[in-house]
Amino acid sequence: MRFQDLEACPFCGCDEFYEKQQTRGTIHYRIRFDGKETDNSDMYDSLLTMYSGRAYCNDCKRYLGNYIKDEVGKVAQRKCFENSLEGESQEVKDFFKKAIADNKEFQKKIESERVRKW
Ligand SMILES: [Zn+2]
């Protein structure tokens, strides 16, 4: 699932996310001798910023995925899928729940087979 397809946080519906960024560097903060306010609007321009792309919901703070890689996180993806089943009958929900569980069992089996071969 692509991150750009998200329209809101799948957990709480918030329409904003934030990215954790790391910055490094030195700033020059200007101060006037007479104590009057001066322009420091460019004071962060010299900082080196590292963009992780890791996106978190602005409200519930849950991890949503990586918007630079354009990927939705696994848990958020599962929640999107669950949300898409809203309004479906319990029978349909149960069907998909079982299909997902079966797929997990299948994946586990494949993993254990792989381990056994080594
Ligand atoms: Zn949220």
CA of 37 to the centre of ligand 1 (A): 38
Cβ atoms of 66 and 53 within 8 Å: the answer is yes
Q: Are residues 92 and 61 in the same domain?
A: no
Q: Are 17 and 52 in contact (CB under 8 A)?
A: no
In a domain, 79, yes or no: no
**30 in a domain, yes or no?**
yes
The 10s digit of each residue's pLDDT in 42-60 is: 999 999 999 999 999 999 9
DSSP assignment letter at 3: G
User: Strand runs (DSSP E) across 25-107, as ranges?
Assistant: 48-57, 63-66, 71-72
Give yes or no: residues 67 and 101 share one domain.
Answer: no
Write down the pLDDT at residue 117. 64
- The model carries a pTM of 0.70
Is pLDDT at 114 greater than 80 in this prediction? Answer: no
Give yes or no for a contact between 70 and 61, defined as CB atoms under 8 angstroms apart.
no
Task: Return the number of other C-beta atoms located less than 10 Å from residue 61's C-beta.
Answer: 13
| Distance between Cα 15 and ligand 1 center (Å) | 8
Q: How much distance in Å is there from the Cα of 101 to the middle of ligand 1?
A: 25
- Structural domain of 90: 85-118
Does any domain span residue 97?
Answer: yes
The number of angstroms, rounded, from the C-alpha of 41 to the middle of its chain's C-alpha atoms is: 30
Question: What spacing in Å lies between the alpha carbon of 85 and ligand 1's midpoint?
Answer: 19
pLDDT tens digit sequence for 26-42:
999 999 999 999 999 99
> Same domain, yes or no, for 56 and 92?
no
Assess if residue 77 is contained within a domain.
no
What pLDDT does residue 118 have?
A: 60
21 and 59 within one domain: yes
DSSP element (H, E) containing 57: strand 48-57
